[in-house]
Amino acid sequence: MDTAAFLHRIGLASHASSYAAGHAAPSVEGLSELHEAFVGTIPYESVQFQFGQGGSMDPEAVARRIIAREGGGYCFQLNGVLAHLLTSLGYDVTLHRGGVQTATRPAVVDASHMVLTVELDGETWLVDAGLGDGLLTPMPLQAGASAYQDPFTLTLRKSDLVDGWRLDHDPRAGLIGMDFESAPATFTDFEAQHQHLSLSPDSPFVRTCSAFLRRPGQMAALRSVGLTQTYKDRIDNKIIDSQPEYYEVLADLFQLPLLHFTAADRDALWRRVWTQYENFLAAQQHG
CATH number at 247 reads 3.30.2140.10
Return d(Cα 224, Cα 198) in angstroms, integer: 17
Asked if residue 275 is part of any domain, the answer here is: yes
> Cα 144 vs. chain centroid, distance in angstroms?
23
Pick from 1-5, 48-52, 153-157: least confident: 1-5
State the DSSP H helix or E strand holding residue 62, giving kind and residue range, or none if neither. helix 59-67
Asked if residue 231 is part of any domain, the answer here is: yes
Please enumerate in sequence order all residues whose Cβ is within 8 A of that of 26, keeping only pairs 6 or more positions apart, or say none.
89, 90, 91, 92, 120
Q: What pLDDT band is residue 218 in, cutting at 50, 70 and 90?
A: very high
Whether residue 185 contacts residue 95, with contact meaning beta carbons closer than 8 Å, is answered with yes
pLDDT, residue 154, reads 94
pLDDT, residue 171, reads 85
pTM of the prediction?
0.94
pLDDT, residue 140, reads 96
pLDDT, residue 146, reads 86
CA dihedral 62, 63, 67, 69 (to 10 degrees): 20
Return d(Cα 59, Cα 57) in angstroms, integer: 6
With b for 16 or more beta-carbon neighbours within 10 A and e for fewer, the 119-146 pattern comes to ebeeebbbbbbbbbbbbbbbbebeeeeb
Asked if residue 215 is part of any domain, the answer here is: yes
Predicted confidence (pLDDT) per residue in 41-85, tens digit? 999 999 999 998 889 999 999 999 999 999 999 999 999 999 999
Quote the radius of gyration of the chain (alpha carbons, Å): 18
The domain containing residue 235 runs over which residues?
Answer: 201-286
Asked if residue 239 is part of any domain, the answer here is: yes
Asked if residue 219 is part of any domain, the answer here is: yes
Nearest to 246 by CA among 50, 11, 36, 54: 50
Q: For 241-267, what is the mean pLDDT? A: 96
Predicted confidence (pLDDT) per residue in 181-217, tens digit? 999 999 999 999 999 999 999 999 999 999 999 999 9
Asked if residue 217 is part of any domain, the answer here is: yes
Nearest to 93 by CA among 112, 119, 72, 111: 119
Q: What's the structural domain count of the chain? A: 1
Asked if residue 67 is part of any domain, the answer here is: no
Asked if residue 22 is part of any domain, the answer here is: no
pLDDT at residue 20 greater than cutoff 70:
no
Return d(Cα 278, Cα 284) in angstroms, integer: 10
